[in-house]
Amino acid sequence: MRVVRLLVGKDLRLEWRGREIVSAMGLLALLLAIVLGATRSGPEAAPAAMWVTYAFGATLGFTRTFALERDHLTALLLAPLDRGLIFAAKALTNWLGLVVVQVISLPLFGALFTETIWTRLPALALPMLLGGIGLAAVGTLFGGLIVQARLREALLPILMLPVVLPLVIAAVGATTGILDGLPVWAIGAQLQLLLVFDIIFVTASFLLFEYVVEE
């Protein structure tokens, strides 16, 4: 945990000084929310609009995370660490960035789509949390895979979006149920799917990251 704290602390400090990743993700999220909201869709479009925004915001931000680390990755790989810890720290940083984007875009979704978001906020936190963790795990794994590639900005969405499709569909389903006023137990299947997806991808990525960053 000490190493993960150290790596995340460094990433947050760099982000605070550069404000590069969250500002890029946040700006894209705001634009997407406004454009999707401008179609005057009803409240039923809110879950899809939210998760399209989060998924695209994530691909943009996660590409930058590793791009900023590219020149320094050698030093991290040379340190006497389990490389899974590098994955854990990067995934945690990515997830925190996504949480910031989710929080700042939520008022827009509330204003443009449905006010139910405000009354269902505690229940809504569940799919946002579980979906965010899955997006961060997959994005970090593929981000590490393509860190040395040219055109990595184009590669990440191509690799990541098909893999996270089941996660996004389950997250949209859970969010729809919550905004429709269903109790949390009624969307248990979608939440379970999100949880299983998270467990599989966090565990597999932790174990595989050693080989992902190998030259």
Partner 1 sequence: MSVGAVDQWAVEARGLVKSFDHRPVLRGVDLRVRTGETLAILGANGSGKTTLLRLIATLSSPTRGGVVWFGEPSAPLPEIRRRIGLVPHESLLYDALTVEENLRFFGGLYGLAPSRVESALDEHALRPLALRRVRVLSRGQRQQVNLARALLHEPDLLILDEPYTGLDVGASGRLTSTLRACASRGCTVILTTHDPSGAGALAADVTVMLDGRLTEIMPAAGLDAALLADWFREGRR
Q: How far is the CB of 71 from partner 1 (least distance, A)?
A: 6
- 2 vs 40 by CB, closer to partner 1: 2
Structure tokens at 35: 């454009």
- 18 vs 181 by CB, closer to partner 1: 18
- Among candidates 166, 145, 165, which has minimal Cα distance to 156? 145
Question: How would you label 166-184 residue by residue, b for 16+ Cβ within 10 Å and e otherwise?
Answer: ebbebbbbbbbbbbeeeee
- Among candidates 147, 25, 190, which has minimal Cα distance to 93? 25
- 17 vs 150 by CB, closer to partner 1: 17
- 38 vs 215 by CB, closer to partner 1: 215
Q: Which of residues 54-93 bind partner 1 (CB under 8 A)?
A: 71-72, 74-82
Q: How far is the CB of 81 from partner 1 (least distance, A)?
A: 7
Strand, coil or helix: 82: coil
The contact mask relative to partner 1 for 8-47 (x = CB under 8 A, - = no) is --x--xx--xx-----------------------------
Kindly state whether residue 3 participates in binding partner 1, applying the rule CB under 8 A: yes
Q: How many CB atoms lie within 10 A of CB 2?
A: 7
* CA distance linking residue 119 with residue 140, whole number of Å: 33
Q: Are 156 and 135 in contact (CB under 8 A)?
A: no
Q: How far is the CB of 139 from partner 1 (least distance, A)?
A: 22
Q: How far is the CB of 104 from partner 1 (least distance, A)?
A: 23
- 79 vs 207 by CB, closer to partner 1: 79
Question: Is the C-alpha dihedral spanning 48, 49, 50, 51 positive or negative?
Answer: positive
Q: How far is the CB of 15 from partner 1 (least distance, A)?
A: 9
* CA distance linking residue 211 with residue 109, whole number of Å: 40
- 71 vs 151 by CB, closer to partner 1: 71
- Residue partners of 56: CB distance under 8 A and separation at least 6: 28, 32, 157
Residues that bind partner 1 (rule: CB under 8 A) add up to a total of: 21
| Interacting residues toward partner 1 by CB under 8 A | 2-3, 6, 10, 13-14, 17-18, 71-72, 74-82, 214-215
